[in-house]
Amino acid sequence: MLALLQRVKEARVEIAGDVVGAIQTGLLVLVCAERGDTEATGDKLLAKILKLRIFADEAGKMNRSVQDVGGGLLIVSQFTLAADTTGGNRPSFTNAASPEDGRRLYDYFVAQARASHPVVQTGQFAADMQVSLVNDGPVTIPMRIAT
C-alpha cells in the first residue's frame, strides 16, 4: 500500500460543496491500495502511521507521533499515488488495485483506524473530492508498505 502523509494544522474534504470530513492538527493520509495488497498490508501501514514521530516535542524536534499529540487523521483514497510515469506523458495506473479491491482495502483501513485512534475523518471512495489543507512545516512523507 502507498500513502502520502501531510502533517497539517487543519484539513478538510468537500464533495459538491459539502464538507464530508475535517480535522484540526493531525495527518492528512492519502492512501492507495496496489495489486496484491491485503488487509495485513493495511495493518502494517496503519501501525507505522500511528507511531511515526513527525510532530515536535518541547525542544522542537520531531519526536512525537499523531497519537502522542492527540491529532486527527483525515484518510482520503487516492489511486493516482500508484501512477507509473516512466513510459511517456500519460500516467499508467496498472499497479493500482482494482476498484473492488481498492474499496474493500480502503474500507478495511478506515475501520481499523477508527478502532485504533479516537479522531478519524474520511473522504469518500471514488468521489470527485476537493481537499484543502494547511501543511504544517511543511512536512510531507511518502510511504510504501510491501505485501
Catalytic residues: 78-80
Contact 55, 66 (CB under 8 A): yes
What burial class does residue 118 get, using C-beta atoms within 10 Å of its C-beta: 0-12 exposed, 13-18 middle, 19+ buried? exposed
Q: How do the residues of the chain divide into helix, strand and coil, expressed in percent and rounded to 5?
A: 25, 40, 35
